[in-house]
Structure formats: structure tokens, C-alpha cells
Structure 1
Amino acid sequence: MTALELTYFITTVSNLIAKDKTEDELTLLSVMFTQLGDTLATISVLIDTDSE
């Protein structure tokens, strides 16, 4: 998948998720996905650190 295809896919999924959601629901989802990304980044760093 190219960078352009990936960004297109992410935008499409975001639009599908956002459909018919309230502002409060979107805010909560945004925070949840941010935490998910941050946690995955932390795990990745820890895996890299353990490999050294």
C-alpha cells in the first residue's frame, strides 16, 4: 500500500466512523484512538529496547 493509498484509506474509515456520531462521541473516539496509538508506540519502543 502506498502512502497515498494509506491516507485515503484512513480518511475513508474516519468518515465512516464519524457518520451519525455526536460531537461528544467523536471526541471520545478521538481520545481513545490517540491513546491506542500512543500505547502502541510505547510497546514498540520497549520491544526495540529489549532487543538490544
Structure 2
Amino acid sequence: MICPEELTILISATAASIAQGKSLLELNLLSCFFVQLGDSLATIAVQREVIEECCCPPKDSDSENSSSSNRIII
């Protein structure tokens, strides 16, 4: 797995490369596209986590004692 610092450098270098030769309008459009893409991916990840927590509890003795009122379903 890539370390956080290397990931930041990779993202910055990718952004600089994509930006070359693009107009301000094109850059704004690309920015909006990638922001929405990131937000959509985050929404999917959170929903999967919620479903996993609610529907697939861990198989240990503590899970039998947990209350279903503490679960959130979206």
C-alpha cells in the first residue's frame, strides 16, 4: 500500500499533468467532475459500511448482546 505522503505527491503530479494545456473553464469542469466522483465514492463506501454493520454483525459473543436500537439503516 502506498504511504500517505507518496499518495499526496502522486495526486498533485497527476493534477498538474491534467491541467497542462487546459483552459480555466476546462479546469473548473474537471474539478467539478472529480469532486462529484469523490463524493459519490464516499457515499457508496459509507453505505456499504452501514449495511455491513447492520446486516452482517461480527460472529462473537458480544454481537449477541448488542441492541438493534443502536443500528442505523439508511
Range class of TM-score, shorter chain: over 0.9
Is there any run of 5+ residues in structure 1 with no aligned partner, and where?
Answer: none
Task: Return the TM-score normalized by structure 1.
Answer: 0.95
- Structure number with the higher helix fraction is 1
Aligned residues with identical type, % of pairs:
44
Runs of 4+ residues deviating >4 angstroms: none
Q: Partner of 1:6 in structure 2?
A: 7
Structure number with greater Rg is: 2
- Output the TM-score relative to the length of structure 2: 0.68
The answer to which structure, 1 or 2, has the higher relative contact order (CA under 8 A, 6+ apart) is 2
Q: CA RMSD in A?
A: 0.6
Name structure 2 gaps, 5 residues minimum: 54-74
